[in-house]
Amino acid sequence: MSTEHARSGLLSMRRLLGRAVAGRDGRAVGRVNDVIVRLRTEGYPSVTGLVADVGGRRLFVPAGQVDDWTSDPLALTTARVDLRAFERREGEVLLRADILGHRLIDTSTVRLVRAHDLELAPVSGSDEAGWVLVGVDTRPASWWQRIFHESREAVSPDGCRDWSAFEALIGHTPSVLVRAPLSRLHRLKTPQIADLLEAASVEERAELLDRVHADPELEADVFEELDDPDQAKLLRGKSDEDVAAVLAHMRADDAADALMDLPQDRRVPVMERMPAGAARKLRSLLGFNPTSAGGLMALDHLALRETATVADALDAVRSASDQEPQALTTIYAYDDELRLTGAVGLVTLVQADPGGLLATVAEANPVRVGPETDLPDVAVLMTDYNLLVLPVVDEDDRLLGVITVDDALEATLPEPWRRREPGARPAHHTASAGS
């Protein structure tokens, strides 16, 4: 179905609400209480009917029985309506109950905004007649517009924005589940989704969490980006099984911090529900002071014998798809005693002779720290030596893990700086739903 529409044919949802509904014989039947749309994989949500208040009851009127959506009173093609009470079906969205006056995600600015009005438009250029939801007005109405139900189009015809720029938080679980494959959240970056969670209400958070829960990797990435208080609060609201599933997909260092933020009586039960490998990584980190290099380091790193070739090292990088990309910016070399002997950046590897030895291209005796090194010293070393990754070694000079620059920054930034409002982001452009 084509969803092309002309602005002159737009219909304001606020002006439609409360409008009288009249049968074919001209007699008043009731008043418009809500409009029903159904989400689709492509294009705009299609209007399937309306909910009418008839004698104190809410009744369903199919869209096909509406003769003229723009008339006042709203004209039907029949003199009678079905007197069975309206019951919402899966996938149906009620524009008044679910969207109008509620907050939506503006995917261009990645902020929560309120829908103060909605625009409907007739479908044209198609054999199938009907109406679709095409626009959202996020500007609050003035007092006189609210009193007289005056449309904003009369004041500013370009005020509404295309529906494709928004993601609605409907809150109706069956409709959310049907809509999940259509979600535009996958276009956002995980820090942006985390910001939305931190700004959301309890109900909005619940729906956002339900959405990301469908993708375990995304869910874990989002939890890693949350501020510690928000992360702890949201994890405490989950069952031990769900917390274990989230932690199992998080980086071991972040998972260890999150585990320690749980009440003490929940830590062991959560670990018992985690996969053996993930739980073992956590135990190896929990023995370190959280304000030390050992407590900050990540276990993901790539190390090969110094006799390996450059080609071997590049093959190892290609195969390390389960490791954090930040940890792969530097590859380490070790000797027969497993002691750290060298470090080489990924760019240097790519530019080197594939047949050359790792020991030849790697920087000998790289800067490293022990697990007890405090965080200020870590930050100073990474700054002085322009390091993206800093290795952490044990007393025998064997590699334990690495500290990435983003983790070092997060750990050393003063708390007020971390909580300051970030600057305005560039618009996040998305494709039009009707294109």
- pLDDT grade for 155, boundaries at 50, 70 and 90: very low
Look-up: residue for tokens 């993206």?
Answer: 388
- The CATH number assigned to the domain holding 221 equals 1.25.60.10
Is pLDDT at 152 greater than 50 in this prediction? no
Across residues 354-359, what is the average pLDDT?
96
Q: Say whether pLDDT at 156 is over 80.
A: no
Together in a domain, 62 and 161: yes
pLDDT digits (tens, 9 = 90+) for 22-48: 998 888 889 999 999 988 767 899 999
CATH assignment at residue 324 = 3.10.580.10
Q: What pLDDT score does 422 carry?
A: 56
Say yes or no: 50 and 126 in one domain: yes
Q: Does 175 map to a domain?
A: no
pLDDT at 427: 54
CB burial string 237-249: b at 16+ within 10 A, e below = ebebebbbbbbbb
The residues near 433 (Cβ < 8 Å, ≥ 6 apart) are: 3, 42, 43, 44, 162, 163, 164
Section 222-235 average pLDDT: 91
Residues 243 and 108 in one domain: no
Tell me, yes or no, whether 63 and 187 share the same domain: no
Mean pLDDT computed over 341-363: 96
Q: Are residues 87 and 154 in the same domain?
A: yes
Checking if the pLDDT of 128 tops 80, the result is: no
Range of the domain at 21: 7-168
Q: What are phi and psi of 259, to 5 degrees?
A: -65, -40
Structure tokens that stand for 64 in this block: 């096909």
Q: Give how many domains the chain has, as a whole number.
A: 3
- Which residue, of 136, 168, 200, is where some domain finishes? 168
- Lowest-pLDDT choice from 13-17, 173-177, 289-293, 352-356: 173-177
Residue 126 and residue 152 share a domain: yes
Please say whether the beta carbons of 364 and 334 come within 8 A.
no
Q: Are residues 266 and 153 in the same domain?
A: no
State whether 203 and 144 are in the same domain.
Answer: no
pLDDT at residue 143, rounded to an integer: 47
Q: Tell me the CA distances in angstroms from 186 to 71, 107, 191, 257, 320, one per residue in order.
A: 40, 11, 12, 26, 24
Of the candidates 107, 284, 282, 268, which has an alpha carbon nearest to the alpha carbon of residue 196?
Answer: 107
Instruction: Tell me the percentage of the chain whose pLDDT exceeds 70.
Output: 84
State mean pLDDT over 138-163: 59
Please indicate, yes or no, if residue 339 is contained in any of the structural domains: yes
pLDDT score of 16 more than 50: yes
Mean pLDDT of the chain: 85
Q: Which residue has the higher pLDDT, 185 or 290?
A: 290
Would you say 285 and 250 are in contact if contact means Cβ atoms under 8 Å apart?
A: no
Note the pLDDT of residue 417: 58
Position 199, amino acid: A
